[in-house]
Amino acid sequence: MPSAKFIHSLTTIKQEEVLRACLIYILSYSKMVPQLIGTLATLAGCDSKVILDTGSRKTLIMVLPHLLQPDCVSIAVSPLKCLQVTQICRMT
């Protein structure tokens, strides 16, 4: 969960969105702390940089803010070329 200081620094509407996001993560999977932090940063209007393994549900960081704030804009940078090289190395 985010700190009380972080939550109190937000507007009432943002607080509701943050708490909804926390609830979704808690209900979906309780060990998704980096994903929760990234989502909360996006909901608060801040930038975030998240580096996680393949299959670690990084997409939620982009999708959840758009479900809670349909007018939200996100830019995702994905190192697909690096991922391709890594996968080829694992196969050989």
Q: What is the pLDDT of residues 19-57, one digit of tens each?
A: 888 877 776 666 778 888 888 888 888 888 888 887 888
Q: How confident is the model at residue 88 (pLDDT cuts 50, 70, 90)?
A: confident
Q: In which domain, by residue range, is 57 found? A: 4-91
Mean pLDDT of 47-76: 80
pLDDT at 92 over 70: yes
Q: 3-state class of 74 per DSSP? A: coil
> How many structural domains does the chain have?
1
The residues near 22 (Cβ < 8 Å, ≥ 6 apart) are 1, 2, 36, 40
**pLDDT reported for residue 23:** 76
| Contact yes or no for 48/18 (Cβ under 8 A) | no
**pLDDT reported for residue 17:** 84
**What does the mean pLDDT of the chain come to?**
80
| Contact yes or no for 43/25 (Cβ under 8 A) | no
DSSP 8-state secondary structure symbol assigned to residue 31: T
**pLDDT reported for residue 1:** 66
Mean pLDDT of 5-16: 87
The residues near 62 (Cβ < 8 Å, ≥ 6 apart) are 42, 74, 76
